[in-house]
């Protein structure tokens, strides 16, 4: 890895602990608290920040709002909002700005009170207001969870994927969640029943939500937030924790087209760019932090980033190979518990960066021994129609 470009590193992280704030805090307050702790984690202060990245979760005119609320006067303001993949794009853009000499310390923050506000995310349509293609699906009642179920059905039809194979994803992430005290507390606060490690039988026998997706294949709806601090090499060398380098990035969009394939995600375009920049292959990765809104999201992305060929994901995940204690079998999946069993406040991309950083620091609750390389891949929008992918390859010292 010595020959890789190391233009920017994650030097500070924080994940807001509560998944149920009961209306006591606003998204802006969650963002501010998370930012303060992330800066402390890095050994930096507010005055060091000269670039702000925000996805509008704290309110309108987000670049202006967040700068004023934090008391910052940044040189770079980036308000890219592409749903759950926003923070992977933010990390990529921060790396570019720092490499160009336009910034030295970038701050990414997220805050949400989706649970406290009783947002019925899965039964709604796409976010962001009126879409020019709404006449293609909204009039027939297409909901978010139905969109993912459609992609799952097509994957099953095309490749023979089974519900038992999809369940492997939920089982692995719950196994990791049970080692994460914050994830266990989240399930308690959100009133999960029978909180324990699950089996494939548990998953396929759980209540059907949108055929073929069962309850235990669908993400929770929680409150939450977090922050990530990204710094230039000259700053990173003096930070409190060892730097986690951003080695490669890619981004892409996908939308419905005549003859299009809804079992292939935008990751098929973004991931090769990220791997080429990082100079590694998927087989070298120790950690796979993959956006897990639903089990099918993970299945398609595992294929599209190159862990296995398209259509082979079902067989590839069998036998518990995604567990953290199976390092020789491939990357450990979502070792914090993921959106399925730890937190999903609406846009989960920042937590992928946070847990990947923990792993490469050796600080995870489901720690992979000697983890050196990780992927954080965000998916924003709806898998079976229009969505955006962000791929980030991270490496430790």
**Residue 212 domain-assigned?**
no
Interval 121-160: pLDDT, tens: 665 555 444 455 555 555 456 788 999 999 999 999 999 9
HSE-up (13 A, CA, CB side) for residue 269: 13
How many structural domains comprise the chain?
A: 1
Q: What's the CA gap between 245 and 11, in Å, rounded? A: 9
Q: What's the CA gap between 357 and 363, in Å, rounded? A: 8
**Residue 169 domain-assigned?**
no
**Residue 262 domain-assigned?**
yes
Q: CA angle 388-393-340, nearest 5°?
A: 60
Of 118, 107, 109, the closest CA to residue 8 belongs to: 107
Which structure tokens are listed for 122?
Answer: 């899965």
The alpha carbon of 95 is separated from its chain's Cα centroid by a whole number of angstroms, namely: 18
Q: What's the CA gap between 339 and 158, in Å, rounded? A: 26
Q: With DSSP H G I counted as helix, E B as strand and the rest as coil, what are the percentages for the chain, rounded to 5?
A: 40, 20, 45
Q: What's the CA gap between 260 and 58, in Å, rounded? A: 35
pLDDT confidence of residue 3: 57
**Residue 189 domain-assigned?**
no
List, in sequence order, the alpha helices (H) in the chain.
27-42, 62-70, 86-99, 144-159, 163-177, 181-189, 200-205, 233-236, 267-278, 295-304, 313-317, 338-341, 349-361
Q: What's the CA gap between 382 and 357, in Å, rounded? A: 26
Interval 33-92: pLDDT, tens: 999 999 999 999 999 999 999 999 888 878 889 999 999 999 999 999 999 999 999 999
Torsion-angle region of 344 (φ positive above 0: left; ψ -120 to 50: alpha; else: beta)? beta
**Residue 149 domain-assigned?**
no
**Residue 171 domain-assigned?**
no
Average pLDDT of the chain to the nearest whole number: 93
**Residue 144 domain-assigned?**
no
Give backbone dihedrals phi and psi of 117, rounded to 5 degrees, phi first: -85, 0
Q: What's the CA gap between 246 and 244, in Å, rounded? A: 7
**Residue 205 domain-assigned?**
no
User: Which stretches does DSSP call E strand in 211-349?
Assistant: 213-214, 224-231, 244-254, 287-290, 332-333
The range of the structural domain enclosing residue 333 comes to: 9-118+220-395
For residue 54, give the CATH number of its domain: 3.40.47.10
Q: What's the CA gap between 290 and 371, in Å, rounded? A: 16
Interval 152-187: pLDDT, tens: 999 999 999 999 999 999 999 999 999 999 999 999
Please count the other Cβ atoms lying within 10 Å of the Cβ belonging to residue 99: 16
Q: How confident is the model at residue 221 (pLDDT cuts 50, 70, 90)?
A: very high
pLDDT confidence of residue 130: 47
Q: What's the CA gap between 237 and 17, in Å, rounded? A: 28
Can the peptide bond before residue 121 be classed as cis, meaning omega within 30 degrees of 0? Answer: no
Among the listed ranges 62-71, 79-88, 263-272, 284-293, which one has the minimum average pLDDT value?
62-71
């Amino acid at each position: 890895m010595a020959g890789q470009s190391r233009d920017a590193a994650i030097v500070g992280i924080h994940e807001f602990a509560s998944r149920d704030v009961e209306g006591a805090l606003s998204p802006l307050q969650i963002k501010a608290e998370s930012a303060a702790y992330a800066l402390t984690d890095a050994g930096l202060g507010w005055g060091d920040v000269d670039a702000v990245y925000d996805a509008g979760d704290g309110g309108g005119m987000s670049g202006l709002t967040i700068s004023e609320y934090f008391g910052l006067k940044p040189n770079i303001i980036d308000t890219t909002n592409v749903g759950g993949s926003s923070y992977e794009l933010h990390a990529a853009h921060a790396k570019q700005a720092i490499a160009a000499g336009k910034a030295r310390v970038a701050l990414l923050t997220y805050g949400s009170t989706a649970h406290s506000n009783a947002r019925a995310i899965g039964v709604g349509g796409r976010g962001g207001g009126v879409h020019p293609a709404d006449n293609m699906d909204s009039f027939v009642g297409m909901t978010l969870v139905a969109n993912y179920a459609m992609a799952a059905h097509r994957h099953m039809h095309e490749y023979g994927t089974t519900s038992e194979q999809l369940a492997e994803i939920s089982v692995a992430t719950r196994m990791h969640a049970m080692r994460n005290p914050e994830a266990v507390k989240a399930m308690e606060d959100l009133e999960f029943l029978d909180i324990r490690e699950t089996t494939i039988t548990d998953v396929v026998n759980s209540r059907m939500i949108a055929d073929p997706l069962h309850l235990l294949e669908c993400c929770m709806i929680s409150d939450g937030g977090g922050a990530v601090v990204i710094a230039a090499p000259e700053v990173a060398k003096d930070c409190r924790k060892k730097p986690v380098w951003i080695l490669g990035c890619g981004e892409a969009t996908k939308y419905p087209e005549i003859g299009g394939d809804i079992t292939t995600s935008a990751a098929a375009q973004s991931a090769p760019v990220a791997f080429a920049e990082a100079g590694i292959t998927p087989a070298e990765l120790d950690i796979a932090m993959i956006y897990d809104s639903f089990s099918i999201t993970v299945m398609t992305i595992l294929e599209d980033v190159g862990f296995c060929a398209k259509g082979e994901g079902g067989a590839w995940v069998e036998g518990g190979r995604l567990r953290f204690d199976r390092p020789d079998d491939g990357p450990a999946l979502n070792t914090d518990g993921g959106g399925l069993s730890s937190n999903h406040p609406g846009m989960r991309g920042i937590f992928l960066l946070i847990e990947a950083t923990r792993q490469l620091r050796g600080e995870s609750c489901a720690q992979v021994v000697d983890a050196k390389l990780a992927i954080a891949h965000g998916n924003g929008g709806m898998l079976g129609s229009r969505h955006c992918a962000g791929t980030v390859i991270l490496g430790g010292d």
